[in-house]
Amino acid sequence: MRSAKVNARAAAKEATHERIVSVAAKAIRRSGYAGTGVADLMKEAGLTHGAFYAHFDSREAMLAEAAAKACAESAAAAAQAVSSLPADRALASMLRAYLSKEHAEGVEMGCPLAALGSETSRQAPQVRRVTTRHIKEMVDVLARQSPDWGQPGAHERALVTIATMVGALVLARAVDEPALSDSLREAALKHLLPTRN
């Protein structure tokens, strides 16, 4: 009986931890790392400020977990965009989804690289490590969509593609003119789409 109570308590703590990380993953994309305070985050998660340290050693540890969750969600969205498509249409689908108006407007659930890139260089090493790992994974995903995957050119094209995608999304979100925002996304998409699509 005691074991069941301990297991139930551990499961409840894990569920609470996951709730905090989920709320934090949205908050960092919405407000940035600097704009995500522990007190507000815990309030949004429906918990007291004091409960934070039962789940994390530091704010930086929480930010690293939130960044990892945001990156995992972004990678899952990319995988979803290509999951049911033939290989020759996967890259175009991924690019269209990434550079869509919906993605530009969906900051809380969107790409963490576009939401947090300029802040990441000033974060703790564990946060930067998460971001570096995600960038490498996304470069690999993009390179695998190339017809000459495995060749040096495919990797280099993937680097340019991710830099263009993220840069275009950052700028599209930064401007206060909807027409310019659309033009930035559309120009990047036109430049990146393979000519056959």
**From the CB of residue 69, how many other CB atoms can be counted at a distance below 10 Å?**
20
If one compares 53 and 185, the residue with the highest pLDDT of the two is 185
Report d(CA 75, CA 37) in Å as an integer: 26
Tokens of 115: 């939401």
User: How do residues 160-194 score in pLDDT, each as one tens digit?
Assistant: 999 999 999 999 999 999 999 999 999 999 999 96
Alpha carbon separation from 170 to 59, 96, 110, 131, 154 (Å, rounded): 26, 16, 11, 16, 24
Residue type, position 80, single letter: Q
The pLDDT score that the predictor gives to residue 197 is 43
Q: Which CATH number fits domain 59-192: 3.40.50.2300, 3.40.50.261, 3.40.50.300, 1.10.357.10?
A: 1.10.357.10
The pLDDT score that the predictor gives to residue 86 is 81
The pLDDT score that the predictor gives to residue 5 is 67
User: How do residues 119-140 score in pLDDT, each as one tens digit?
Assistant: 999 999 999 999 999 999 999 9
Tokens of 78: 């990319």
CB 63 within 8 A of CB 22: no
- Per domain, the residue ranges of the chain are 59-192
Among 92-101, 140-149, 182-191, whose mean pLDDT is lowest? 140-149
Report d(CA 2, CA 38) in Å as an integer: 33
CB 29 within 8 A of CB 131: no
pTM for the structure as a whole = 0.85
Exposure of 176 in the CB half-sphere (CA atoms within 13 A): 0
Which percentage of the chain shows pLDDT scores above 70?
95
Tokens of 160: 């340019």
